Structure 1
Amino acid sequence: MTETREAAPGSLPIDLAIETHGLVKRFGHRSAVDGIDLAVPRGAVYGFLGPNGSGKTTTIRVLLGLASANGGEIRVLGREMPQQLASVLPEVGALVEGPGFYPFLSGAANLLRLDSADRHASSATRHRRVNEALDRVGLGHAAGKKVRAYSLGMKQRLGLANAMLRPRELLVLDEPTNGLDPQGTREVRSLVRSLAAGGTTVFVSSHLLAEVEQMCTHVGVMSAGRLVAQGPLDELRSAGQAHVLVRTPDGERAARVLARLGLVPGEAPGHGVIQGNGLDGIEPEEIVAALVADGVRVRGFSVENATLEERFVSLTGEGFDVVG
């Protein structure tokens, strides 16, 4: 029976593909993962976000049984881990810490060998499934080329193909766009969306904000081994402070009005634009009325929610790569 997580009173229980409680992983006296509670809904594209060294890959290794936890509870696809590892892993496809292949074999030959090592895979459909997986990641034309001649991006694609050799309930991808050019990145993004649309839960670890925002439905933010926030992407963004943008030639006067209303004038995104941060409980109409009443010539006005980058910085006090 699939386990579910208790939801708020009056709402439906949440069916989780990955669930942890107080998960801890230490290396000596250092806690790489420090008591995190993951909740990954089935069917979601969950972005596991954080700078390099924040504990993302270590968490993934523990979830997949590649490393043992020092404390806490883990459930993957409704089953306890690592106790039920043997029944869970056949339902999970993974790309962790970069793919490793035999360089003297072709891409297709590597996948055939890996698939033959999977006792749950059908030998009757092996060649068809390998060809389909290579086509899905754009490597059909390079199927017969030796892997030593593959670029980093091509090897990354081959790793994705290996993770998708059989239908999976859960796909775990650690930095899947590493080494890919912009076109390859867009293709991986589209592939992840299509997998989720087909019912697969996709758990994507990344340090690239732009990729997470375009690909994911849910986000968990890691910082120094701790999970500092998680939830639907839109809710996480809206939890940050919204701000107003006023386009006016009367910048100093507009800034004084915003300050009087309790908004903190901030860095403007362009010439002739004043930003007011900390919008909380003030109706936009009130702000415009106050500006006009004070003689400010308002040529444009908008209210914008905090970006994921701004939300991350407010949660952790640090920044990281925002573009690939």
Structure 2
Amino acid sequence: MTTAPDAAAAAQTAAPQTRAPQTGTDLAIRTEGLRKVFHKQRAVDGIDLAVPRGSVFGFLGPNGSGKTTTIRMLLGLSSATGGSIQVLGEPMPSALRSVLPRVGALVEGPAFYPYLSGRANLSRFDAADPTSDPRSRKDRVASALDRVGLTHAADKKAHAYSLGMKQRLGLANALLTPRELLVLDEPTNGLDPQGTREVRHLIRSLADDGTTVFVSSHLLAEIEQVCTHAAVMRTGQLVAQGTLDDLRSAGARTVTVRTPDVGQAAVVLGRLGLAPRRDGGSDVLVADLVADVEPETITAELVRADVRVRGLAVGGGTLEDLFVALTGEGFDVAG
């Protein structure tokens, strides 16, 4: 039987390569050997991140895997211990002044002046941007509030906002001016199902307009439904990255055989290098597929051995399968 460490090793071998491309002109974010050490603990351990321009990039990993720490370094909110960072083709943090006006961000939950209205908060934030035109501030604020569905609560004091409304207001702040890159850390935190759907639609519309969207999330539904690319973090290391289709195909696949001849079928599967196990009934065997064994081969060998096959099905090959194999942890699939 395949053990959890064996499954993780196999998945990591099968997963798309994590090395960043040699040229960064087509990348919105690129890191090489990026490290962050806190009191001898490696929170981020030499990651090579490559985020294509125009993509919706999902950044996945269990709590404590280093996602938020990485985001803070990308935005110049925390200094790196080692390695290099490029954002929108410019080195960070030395190019902060030229890069940050082109980047919108929502990191670790938004903070507002509690006794100012949502509209007044956005006006204050917009006024703090030296590149914004005060003559069009009112229209910008109104447009941002409308995009996140907060027009009806624009004049309500921020301290009376729910968690979901504060998340929306934080998104509105990130959208006050057009951005080349939008960095969102858990953007649907606190939102109800309708709000979550609206944020998904907003992310898609931004990507359609050419904005690169970098989304850190623990919700599988968010990544599956809106992202084109993704990366998986584990204990500070980047263990997989690539297109969503590539990552799905790297997930572990299983074959399920239903037969009254369980013992004979187990012998056949064993000869093929598989490790069958009982699952779900006395007539059911399940085995993890290996790269060089196709389901058609299994069917042919079972028939050749006179095994009576009542059913054969192939499953797996999902993003969740890969995540569990690489991190050893379950995934919140709520949407």
Instruction: Tell me, yes or no, whether TM beats 0.5.
Output: yes
CA deviation after TM superposition for structure 1 residue 37, in Å: 1.0
Task: Name 2:7's counterpart in structure 1.
Answer: none
Structure 1 230/144 Cα, relative in aligned 2: closer, same or farther at 3 Å? same
The one-letter code sitting in structure 2 at the alignment partner of 1:117 is: A
Q: Which residue of the partner structure matches residue 65 of structure 1? A: 76
CA change 1:193–1:255 in 2 (3 A) is farther
1:89 matched to which residue of 2? 100
2:152 partner amino acid: H
Q: Distance in 2 between matches of 1:106 and 1:269?
A: 57
Correspondence for 1:26: 37
Question: Does residue 1:127 correspond to 2:127, yes or no?
Answer: no
**Per-residue deviation, 1:53:** 1.1
Query: 153, 159, 162: which is aligned to 2:170?
Result: 159
Displacement, 1:119?
1.3
Aligned 1:77-226 pairs, distance under 5 A = 77-226=88-237
Range with greater deviation from structure 2 (175-184 or 123-132): 123-132
- Give the 3 Å change call, closer, same or farther, for CA 140–299 of structure 1 in structure 2: farther
How many pairs are equivalent? Answer: 316
Local SS of the residue matching 1:66: coil
Contact 2:278 2:284 in 1 (8 A): no
Whole-Å Cα distance in 1 between the matches of residues 318 and 278 of structure 2? 15
**DSSP 3-state at the match of 1:103:** coil
Question: After superposition, what is the alpha-carbon deviation per residue over 1:82-115, rounded to whole angstroms, capped at 9, x for unaligned?
Answer: 1110000000000001000111111111111111
Paired position in structure 2 for 1:38: 49
CA distance in 2, matches of 1:269, 1:57: 40
Asked if the contact 1:62/1:68 (under 8 Å) is kept, the reply is yes
Shift of 1:157: 0.8
**280, 284, 292: which is aligned to 1:281?**
292
Partner SS state of residue 276, structure 1: strand
Could you say if the C-alpha distance between residues 34 and 267 of structure 1 is closer, same or farther in structure 2, counting changes exceeding 3 Å? farther
1:235 aligns with 2:251: no
1:271 Cα offset (Å) = 9.3
Give the secondary structure class of the aligned counterpart of 1:279.
coil
Task: Answer with 159-168 or 245-254: which moved more.
Answer: 245-254
Q: What is the aligned counterpart of 1:76 among 87, 101, 115?
A: 87
Are 1:15 and 1:42, in contact at CA under 8 Å, matched by a contact in 2? yes
Q: Which amino acid aligns with 2:224?
A: E
SS state of the match for residue 135, structure 1? helix
TM-score by length of 2: 0.86
| TM-fit CA distance, 1:256 | 4.4
User: Alpha carbons of 1:109 and 1:247: their partners in 2 closer, same or farther (altered >3 Å)?
Assistant: farther
Deviation at 1:124, TM superposition (A): 2.3
Q: How far did 1:249 drift?
A: 6.1
Do residues 310 (structure 1) and 326 (structure 2) align? no
Q: Which residue of 1 aligns with 2:22?
A: 6
Quick one: which amino acid aligns to residue 232 of structure 1? T
Identity %: 67
Secondary structure of residue in 2 paired with 1:311: helix
Whichever residue aligns with residue 327 of structure 2, its letter is T
In structure 1, C-alpha distance between the alignment counterparts of 2:284 and 2:136, rounded to whole Å: 61
The residue identity in structure 1 corresponding to 2:237 is R
CA deviation string 1:55-84 (max 9, x = no partner): 111111111111111111111000011111
Shift of 1:253: 5.1
Q: 1:128 to 1:79 in 2, by over 3 A?
A: same
Cα 1:245/1:66, change in 2 over 3 Å: same
Q: Deviations over 1:287-323 (max 9, x none)?
A: 2223334454545433334222221232233334343
Q: Measured at CA, do residues 252 and 76 of structure 1 come closer, stay the same or move farther in structure 2, by a change above 3 Å?
A: same
Does structure 1 retain, via aligned residues, the 8 Å contact 2:277–2:287? Answer: yes
Could you say which structure has the greater relative contact order, defined with CA pairs below 8 angstroms and 6 or more residues apart?
2
Tell me the secondary structure at the aligned position of residue 51 of structure 1: coil
Return the letter of the residue paired with 1:84.
A
Do 1:6 and 1:14's aligned partners in 2 also have CA atoms closer than 8 Å? no
Partner of 2:27: 16
Is the alpha carbon distance of 1:14 and 1:308 closer, same or farther for their aligned partners in structure 2, counting shifts above 3 Å?
farther
Distance 1:281 1:198 in 2: 42
